[in-house]
Amino acid sequence: MEHITLLLAIVVVTALVFDFTNGFHDTANAMATTISTGALKPKTAVAMSAVLNLVGAFLSVEVAKTISGGIINENGLRTEVIFAALVGAILWNLLTWLVGLPSSSSHALFGGLIGAAVMSAGWSSINGGTVVTKVLLPAIAAPLVAGVAALLATKLTYRLNRKITDEAQLKSTAKGYRAGQIASAGLVSLAHGTNDAQKTMGIITLALVTGGVLAPGSNPPVWVIASAGIAIALGTYLGGWRIIRTMGSGLTDLRPPQGFAAQTSAATVILASSHLGFSLSTTQSCSGAVMGAGLGRKGGVVRWSTATRMFVAWGLTLPAAGLVGAGAEFLTKQGPWGVAVVAVLLVAGSGAIWLLSRRKPVDHTNVNATGDEPAGVVTTASRPSARRPPV
Partner 1 sequence: MNIDWAALASVFGVSLVITVALVGLFTLGITGLAKQTATAQGGGGGVLARTGAYACFALCAAAVAYGIFLIVV
Contacting residues toward partner 1, per CB under 8 A:
56, 59-60, 128-129, 132-133, 137, 141, 145-146, 148-150, 152-154, 156-157, 160-161, 163-164, 166, 168-170, 172-173, 176-177, 180, 183, 187, 190-191, 194, 257, 260-261, 264-265, 267-269, 271-273, 275-278, 280
| Distance in angstroms (rounded) separating the CA atoms of residues 232 and 230 | 6
Give the residue with the Cβ less far from partner 1, 187 or 320: 187
Q: How far is the CB of 289 from partner 1 (least distance, A)?
A: 9
Q: How far is the CB of 59 from partner 1 (least distance, A)?
A: 5
Q: How far is the CB of 67 from partner 1 (least distance, A)?
A: 19
- Judge contact between 54 and 232, C-beta under 8 A: yes
Q: How far is the CB of 129 from partner 1 (least distance, A)?
A: 3
- Judge contact between 20 and 235, C-beta under 8 A: yes
- Judge contact between 381 and 371, C-beta under 8 A: no
Measured in whole angstroms, the distance separating CA 120 from the mean position of its chain's CA atoms is 27
Give the residue with the Cβ less far from partner 1, 128 or 315: 128
Q: Would you tell me how many other CB atoms lie within 10 Å of the CB of residue 247?
A: 32
Q: Give me the amino acid identity at 186.
A: G
Q: How far is the CB of 154 from partner 1 (least distance, A)?
A: 8
Q: How far is the CB of 160 from partner 1 (least distance, A)?
A: 4
Q: How far is the CB of 326 from partner 1 (least distance, A)?
A: 23
Could you please report the per-residue DSSP string of 331-343? HHTT-HHHHHHHH
| Distance in angstroms (rounded) separating the CA atoms of residues 333 and 79 | 11
Give the residue with the Cβ less far from partner 1, 211 or 220: 220
Give the residue with the Cβ less far from partner 1, 276 or 355: 276
Angle between helices 222-238 and 42-59 (to 10 degrees): 160
Give the residue with the Cβ less far from partner 1, 2 or 167: 167
Helix/strand/coil for 190: helix
Measured in whole angstroms, the distance separating CA 348 from the mean position of its chain's CA atoms is 23
Give the residue with the Cβ less far from partner 1, 192 or 303: 192
| Distance in angstroms (rounded) separating the CA atoms of residues 143 and 138 | 9
Give the residue with the Cβ less far from partner 1, 168 or 215: 168
Give the residue with the Cβ less far from partner 1, 191 or 328: 191
Give the residue with the Cβ less far from partner 1, 113 or 145: 145
Q: Indicate the helix (H) or strand (E) that contains 314.
A: helix 304-332
Task: Give the burial string for 24-60 (b: 16+ CB within 10 Å, else e).
Answer: bbbbbbbbbbbbbbbbbebeebbbbbbbbbbebbebe
Beta bridge partners of 72: 126
User: For the chain, where are the E strands, in sequence order?
Assistant: none
Helix/strand/coil for 214: coil
Q: How far is the CB of 33 from partner 1 (least distance, A)?
A: 14
Between CA 242 and CA 250, with CA 244 as vertex, the angle to 5 degrees is 85
Q: Indicate the helix (H) or strand (E) that contains 111.
A: helix 105-121
Q: How far is the CB of 195 from partner 1 (least distance, A)?
A: 9
